[in-house]
Amino acid sequence: MTGSNISLASPIGVFDSGIGGLTVVSELRRALPHERILYVGDTARVPYGGKSSETVTRYGREISDLLVSEGAKMIVVACNTASALALPSLSSDYSIPMIGVLEPGASAAVKATRNGRIGIIGTRATIASEAYSKAISRINPDLSVRAVACPLLVPLIEEGLLEDEITEMALRRYLSPMLHEEIDTLVLGCTHYPLLKKAIGRICGPGVALVDSAENCALAVKAQLGPNPDQNDHSRLDILLTDSSEGFLRIAEKSLDLSIDSLSVRRVGT
Amino acid sequence: MTGSNISLASPIGVFDSGIGGLTVVSELRRALPHERILYVGDTARVPYGGKSSETVTRYGREISDLLVSEGAKMIVVACNTASALALPSLSSDYSIPMIGVLEPGASAAVKATRNGRIGIIGTRATIASEAYSKAISRINPDLSVRAVACPLLVPLIEEGLLEDEITEMALRRYLSPMLHEEIDTLVLGCTHYPLLKKAIGRICGPGVALVDSAENCALAVKAQLGPNPDQNDHSRLDILLTDSSEGFLRIAEKSLDLSIDSLSVRRVGT
C-alpha cells in the first residue's frame, strides 16, 4: 500500500498556523478550480503572531519539509506572520517555488490607493517586522503607510465571533486612529482577517478599499503556474493538522463553504 | 565553568504555557520566601488551552524532563490545562513529587461554598476535561457544579488588558449564566485568571467567594515540603522561556511585582 498517492496529481502545498490560511484556499479554489491542494494547519503551535522570527522560521521549515515530502509542486505561505518572518530565509532553501501573501498584498494596495494613504493591520509580529511598509515603499516611496497591530483579532476569529459586539469594539479601537488619518486603502495583513471583511467594511465605510491578501495571493499563484495549466480535473482538498482541532472544521465549512476530501492529524517537529 | 550551578540549592520547578503560572510563583514567593524557583514558560507553543490532551501531555513531558535535568526537587504544574490533561499520566513517570493546581483548587472550593453551588471558569480544554467537576464530586457528590469555558480571557490577559471595557464585556458574558444560577463560589480555573481578580470580583459582587487556584497550589506545595524546611535563604527566581517574549516581563514586573534573577531562552522539544 506504499503507492496510495501515486494516482494523485502533485498538489499546491499551502500552510498556516491555524485556520487563517483557509481564506487563501478558498480563493485558490476560485482561481484554480482544477488543482489539488494540500493544506497544513499547525494547530499544535497556533498562533504564530506573537512568536519570534527564529521560532516561526523553524516551524515554517518543518512544515515546508513535510509538504515537499508529500510531493508539493509549489508552497504557498498562507500566513502573513510566516511570510514576513520566515519566507525571506526559507525561499532559497527549496527548489520548488514559494509564494507568500505579503508581496501580492502590498502591490495590490499600491494600485488601489488614490490619496496615497494606506493602512495595514496584522499580528504583532507582522507589524513589528515592518515587512508591509518596506514592500510598499520599495514600489513607491512617496506613499504614507500607517500600520497597527491587532493581536485580539485572531483569537476572536478562531472563536468564530465574526459578527459580535466584542469583535466590533476591538475593531473600532484598532481602526479609529487610521480612519482619523483618512486612509483610503486598508490591507488585511493577516489571512484570518478576510473572515471579518463584513464588519471591517461597515466600520471603514465605502470610501476605504479593503485589500484582501488571500485574494491577491491566489492570483499570484495562478500567474506563477503559467498560461497553460493542466486541463484535467485534479480538484481535491486534503488537510493535515498538527493537532486535532474542533474549531477548524466549523470555520472551514460554515464560514468558507469549503468541502474537505480528507482530514488527518500529523505530528511535526518533535 | 561546568560547576556554575553547584552552589545553588535545588529549585522548585514550575511550568506553564506562558505567563499564567507566574501567579503561582507570586504565591510561592509569599508562602515559601526562602526557596529557589526555576520557572519554565512554554512561550514557543503558548497557549495550551485549545490543544489536545495528547499534545499537551507531550509538551508537559518535554518540560518536566528539562526541569529534572536542571535538578528540580519538585515539579509544580502551574497551568490548569496541563494539570487536567497531562498530570494524571505524567505523575507516575517521575520520581520527584508533582503537584498541580486542580486538586488544591477543587478542595478549597468545597470548603468555601455555603449554598452548594460552585461555578468554574477555565480554558476550553480544562472545561471539556471535566477534571474540576470530577474532583469536586469525588469530595462531595451532592454539590452542584456549573463550568463555563472562557477562551478569550487568556488572550486578553496576555495583552495586558486587565482593566478594559472589552475584558469587562467578555467577563459579563461568561459569568452571567452562573450568577443567574446563584453560585456562591467561583473557581478561577486557569492560572492567568487571578490577574483579573479585581474585575471578576466587581462583576460577581461580595456574595461570591473567588477561589484562586494559584494561592491554594502554593499552600499544597508548602504542605508537601513538610514542617522542617531548610532555613537558609536560597531565594532566587530563574526563568527559562522556550521563545523570546516581550509581554512576559511586562506582566511579571508590573502586574505581579516579581523580581527576576535571570531570564534566558531555551529551545524545548525539537
Q: What is the pLDDT of residues B188-242, one digit of tens each?
A: 999 999 999 999 999 999 999 999 989 999 999 999 998 766 678 889 999 999 9
Q: Using an 8 Å CB-CB cutoff, list chain B residues near A66.
A: none
How many domains does chain B fold into?
2
Of B155, B244, B247, the CB nearest to A152: B155
**How does residue B1 score in pLDDT terms, banded at 50, 70 and 90?**
very low
Domain assignment present for B88: yes
Using an 8 Å CB-CB cutoff, list chain B residues near A247: 50
B168 in a structural domain: yes
Q: What is the DSSP letter of A255?
A: I
pLDDT at B249 over 90: no
Structure confidence at residue A6 (pLDDT): 47
Q: Between B1 and A49, name the one with better pLDDT.
A: A49
Residues B32 and A159: their CA atoms lie apart, in Å, by 39
- Tell whether A127 and A24 lie within a shared domain: no
Beta bridge partners of B100: B77
Residue A95: inside a domain: yes
Q: B232 or B17, which is more confident?
A: B17
Same domain, yes or no, for A110 and A205? yes
A3 pLDDT above the threshold of 70: no
Unique residue bearing C-alpha cell 477555565: B122
pLDDT band at A229 (very low <50, low <70, confident <90, very high): low
Known active-site residue B190: yes
Q: What percent of chain A has pLDDT over 70?
A: 96
Residue B268, C-beta contacts closer than 8 angstroms, at least 6 positions apart: B40, B42, B44, B62, B63, B66, B242
- The three grid cell numbers given for residue A17, joined into one nine-digit string: 498556523
Q: Check whether residue B136 and residue B94 sit in a common domain.
A: no
Mean local confidence (pLDDT), B21-38: 95
**pLDDT of residue B3 exceeding 60:** no
Question: What amino acid occupies position B126?
Answer: T
Q: Which of B50, B156, B243 is opposite residue A55, by nearest beta carbon? A: B243
Domain termination residue (choose one: B190, B213, B236): B213
Q: What is the DSSP-derived secondary structure letter of residue B201?
A: H
State yes or no: pLDDT of A219 exceeds 50.
yes
The residue among A106, A176, A167, A114 whose CA lies nearest residue A148 is A176
Residues in Cβ contact with B98 at an 8 Å cutoff, skipping those fewer than 6 apart: B64, B74, B75, B76, B77, B87, B90, B91
CB–CB contacts below 8 A, A to B: 60
What pLDDT, on the 0 to 100 scale, is given for residue A78?
Answer: 97
Is the N-terminal amide bond of B47 cis, ω within 30° of 0?
yes
CA atoms of B243 and A146, how far apart (whole Å):
28
Q: In whole angstroms, give the CA distance from residue A152 to residue A100.
A: 23
B96 closest CA partner among B200, B25, B11, B218: B11
Residue A158 inside a domain? The answer is yes
User: What domain range includes position A224?
Assistant: 12-100+216-265
Task: Determine the pLDDT at residue B2.
Answer: 42
What is d(CA B208, CA B189) in angstroms, rounded to the nearest whole number? 15
Is A7 a member of any domain? no
Helix ranges (H only) for A4-118 are: 22-31, 53-69, 80-85, 87-90, 102-112
Report CA-CA distances (Å) from A87 to A56, A131, B45, B127, B207: 10, 11, 20, 37, 54
What's the number of CA atoms in the CB half-sphere (13 Å) around residue A162?
Answer: 14
Answer whether residue A78 is part of any domain: yes
How far apart (Å, rounded) are the C-alpha atoms in residues A80 and A85? 8
Residue B1 belongs to some domain of the structure: no
Residues B60, B48 contacting (CB under 8 angstroms): no
All residues of chain A having their beta carbon less than 8 Å from the beta carbon of residue B159 are 151-152
The predicted structure's pLDDT at residue A200:
98
Distance CA A8, CA A72 (A): 11
Q: Which of A79, A150, A204, A217 is catalytic?
A: A79
Domain boundary residue, one of A190, A213, A236: A213
pLDDT band at A163 (very low <50, low <70, confident <90, very high): very high
Residues B46 and B67 placed together within one structural domain of the fold? yes
> Interhelix angle for B197-204 vs B165-180, to 10°?
40
Instruction: Kindly state whether residues B145 and B56 are assigned to the same domain.
Output: no
* Pairing status of strand B74-77 against strand B98-100: parallel
Q: Would you report the helix, strand and coil content of chain B in percent, each value rounded to 5?
A: 45, 20, 35
Residues of B within an 8 Å Cβ radius of A: 43-46, 50-52, 54-55, 58, 62, 151-152, 155-156, 158-159, 165-166, 169-170, 173, 243-245, 247, 269-270
Residues of chain B contacting residue A55, judged by C-beta atoms under 8 Å apart: 44, 243
Q: Which of A156, A159, A166, A242 to substitute to test the interface with B, most B CBs within 10 Å? A: A166
Cell triple for B67: 526541569
Q: Nearest residue of A to residue B149 by CA position? A: A159
Same domain, B64 and B123: no
| Contacts of A44 by beta carbon, 8 Å cutoff, 6+ apart | A241, A242, A243, A267, A268, A269, B45, B51, B55
**Same domain for A143 and A57?**
no
pLDDT band of A4, cuts 50, 70, 90 = very low
Is residue B123 included in any domain, yes or no? yes
> What is the sign of the dihedral through the CA atoms of A42, A44, A50 and A53?
negative
Cβ contacts (< 8 Å) between B169 and chain A: which residues? 165-166, 169
Lowest mean pLDDT among A202-206, B31-35, B141-145: B31-35
CATH number of the structural domain spanning residue B21: 3.40.50.1860
Whether the CA torsion A16, A18, A22, A23 is positive or negative: it is: negative
- B83's grid cell: 494539570
pLDDT for A33 beyond 60: yes
pLDDT of residue A5: 46
pLDDT at A1: 40
- Verify that B206 and B106 share a domain, yes or no: yes
Q: Which of A80-89, A169-178, B162-171, B260-269 has the lowest mean pLDDT?
A: B260-269
pLDDT single digits (tens) A128-161: 999 999 999 999 999 999 999 999 999 999 888 9
- Decide which of B176, B194, B213 is a domain's last residue: B213
Distance CA A170, CA B161 (A): 12
* Same domain, yes or no: B122 and B209: yes
Is A222 found in the same domain as A93? yes
Give the global pTM. Answer: 0.91
Residue in B with minimal Cα distance to A168: B166
User: Residue B234 has what pLDDT?
Assistant: 87
Percentage of residues of chain B with pLDDT beyond 90:
81
Same structural domain, A95 and A106: no
A204 is catalytic: no
Over its C-alpha atoms, chain A yields an Rg (Å, rounded) of 18
pLDDT band with cut points at 50, 70 and 90 for residue B144: very high
First CA to last CA distance, chain B: 27
User: Which candidate in A150, A190, A204, A217 is catalytic?
Assistant: A190
State how far the alpha carbon of B46 is from the alpha carbons of A68, A190, A256, B254, in Å: 27, 19, 27, 21
Reading the block at residue B49, the C-alpha cell is 488551552
Assess whether A260 and A250 both reside in one domain: yes
* Predicted confidence band of residue B57 (pLDDT cuts 50, 70, 90): very high
Min Cα distance B232 → chain A (Å) is 39
